[in-house]
């Protein structure tokens, strides 16, 4: 069961940001997503990926990553490492909220997907002067496990390929990019549709926390700010699927 984020205060949480520079980080962080393809598809050795995976799942040091978003929102990626099992939890947060939104978790409850592709594109760019995971390619790859969208466009494949190559994957990484876009095996790629009246994407997946409009429990102003945060810029607008 996903822990409320405040409960992590008594856990051995560490800043995960330095781990991103380690060889094998992406092969470790995305390990659940590329079954059937070799670790070497990332341009790294299996030993390097294994070493990082051990650190990500270390029960004595739980890595956390902060992805700052527009309007003071953020996504917090928490590794939850118990003695018997580990999970990765993704929270959408804001300092004014009384509780966080759980976007995804690969624990036994299998929560996801939490984002569709248009929403993920809205999160590529980091607000000015923000602290945390700021690089667009890094943000995309870090949040890929939350994605579960069957509408895989050429744009999506190109974006993931560019992100992989920016992190030292070989030039011929399209097969890996396509595989990563197929969704986490815990929930897969599920249908989404845009509710124009609510101004929110809705997911039909049985395990998705997005079966109702996002932030529908928030006050009107906070809900509007959240939906604006998840709205793509540069002319990319939602369309019904």
pLDDT tens digit string along 161-210? 999 999 999 999 999 999 999 999 999 999 999 999 999 999 999 999 99
Assess if residue 127 is contained within a domain: yes
Structure tokens at 85: 């099992």
Assess if residue 234 is contained within a domain: no
Distance, CA of 40 to CA of 207 (rounded, Å): 31
Q: Name the band, by pLDDT with cuts 50, 70 and 90, for residue 235.
A: very low
Q: 3-class DSSP state for residue 55?
A: helix
Assess if residue 238 is contained within a domain: no
Assess if residue 241 is contained within a domain: no
The partner residues of 101 in beta bridges, in order of sequence, read: 92
Distance, CA of 33 to CA of 42 (rounded, Å): 12
pLDDT (0 to 100) of residue 8: 65
- Total structural domains within the chain: 1
Peptide bond into 116 cis (omega under 30): no
Is the per-residue pLDDT at 37 higher than 60? yes
What is the reported pTM? 0.93
Assess if residue 110 is contained within a domain: yes
Residues spanned by the domain of 196? 5-229
Q: Are 136 and 169 in contact (CB under 8 A)?
A: no
Q: Are 117 and 153 in contact (CB under 8 A)?
A: yes
Half-sphere exposure of 118 (CA within 13 A, CB side): 22
Assess if residue 111 is contained within a domain: yes
Residue 168, exposed/middle/buried by CB under 10 A (0-12, 13-18, 19+)?
exposed
First-to-final CA distance of the chain:
32
Assess if residue 84 is contained within a domain: yes
Residue where the block lists tokens 């527009």: 70
Assess if residue 240 is contained within a domain: no
């Amino acid at each position: 069961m996903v822990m409320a984020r405040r409960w992590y205060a008594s856990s051995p949480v560490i800043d995960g940001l330095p781990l991103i520079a380690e060889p094998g980080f992406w092969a470790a962080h995305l390990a659940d997503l590329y079954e059937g393809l070799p670790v070497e598809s990332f341009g790294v050795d299996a030993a390097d990926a294994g070493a990082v995976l051990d650190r990500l799942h270390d029960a004595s040091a739980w890595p956390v990553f902060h992805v700052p978003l527009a309007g003071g929102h953020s996504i917090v990626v928490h590794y939850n490492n118990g003695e018997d099992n580990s999970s990765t939890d993704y929270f959408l947060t804001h300092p004014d909220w009384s509780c966080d939104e759980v976007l995804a978790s690969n624990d036994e409850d299998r929560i996801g997907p939490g984002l569709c592709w248009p929403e993920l594109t809205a999160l590529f760019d980091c607000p000015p002067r923000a602290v945390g995971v700021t690089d667009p390619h890094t943000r995309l790859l870090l949040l890929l496990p939350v994605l579960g969208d069957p509408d895989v466009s050429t744009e999506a494949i190109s974006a993931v390929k560019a992100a992989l190559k920016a992190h030292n994957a070989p030039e011929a990484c399209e097969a890996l990019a396509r595989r990563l876009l197929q969704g986490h095996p815990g929930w897969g790629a599920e249908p989404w549709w845009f509710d124009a009246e609510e101004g929110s994407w809705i997911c039909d997946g049985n395990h998705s926390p997005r079966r109702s409009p996002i932030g529908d429990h928030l006050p009107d102003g906070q809900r509007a700010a959240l939906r604006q945060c998840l709205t793509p810029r540069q002319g990319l607008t939602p369309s019904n699927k």
